[in-house]
Amino acid sequence: MRLLLISNSTNAGEPYLKYPIGEISRFLGEIREVVFIPYAAVTFSYDDYERKVQDRFDEIGIRVRSVNHYEDPAAEVRHAQAVVVGGGNTFALLKTMQQYDLVEAIRRRIMAGVPYIGWSAGSNVACPTIGTTNDMPIVEPQSFRGTGAVKFQINPHYTDAHLEGHAGETREVRITEYITANPDVTVVGLREGCMLRLEENDLQLIGPRPMRIFHYGEPTREVNAGDNLSFLL
């Protein structure tokens, strides 16, 4: 498998997709066209999303072809050189992926070795379920099941912040609730500006911040870029 799972599309104060575009280029290598899944967009059109991604991918000479232009999106995925899934609302993304039978189509392409890139919601749907998304369930998918390309769960945009005067739960509390209800599942808190790259059996953390590891009954710990992550595979 070849996966590039990115926490967030945009760092604060930077242009869209600017920080990960170099790694995206290295990951794709000689590939010149990708199939794009835009269904996480809610407040703007799929065409606008495609243009936004294409503007950045123009810098690395790659054509972005969005599946919303085709009657059979799954057929486009089955013939894709690489699959890219954008961020937005994870529930909207998964519901529409299910509608067009894309969950299984993407899973099969991933297992065949076709490169997969996802950011935010696009990283969530690479997990066994979308249960560790941060998003509001604005629509109801058939199930929470993702492609299961990785065995662990990702919480993208992971933050340690607890706003002054805010009495609600922290992200750590929410994830602790998740692993208590799902004690066999490991959750990784992927901070902004970071990504996970999986090539064959080599999983690497890329980025300037450590990644938080949550597993029921074990102390929460952090790993850094360069650390051995084989325990997640």
Q: Which residues are catalytic?
A: 120, 135, 157
Residues with Cβ within 8 Å of 52's Cβ and at least 6 positions away in sequence, in order, are 16
Residue 36 vs residues 7, 23, 112, 204: alpha-carbon distances, Å: 18, 17, 18, 24
3-state class of 95 per DSSP? helix
Rounded Cα distance, 78 and 218, in Å: 40
Q: Compute the chain's Rg from CA coordinates.
A: 17
> For residue 134, how many other CB atoms are within 10 A of its CB?
15
Rounded Cα distance, 84 and 57, in Å: 11
Rounded Cα distance, 80 and 74, in Å: 10
231 residue type, one letter: F
Contact by Cβ (8 Å): 11, 208: no
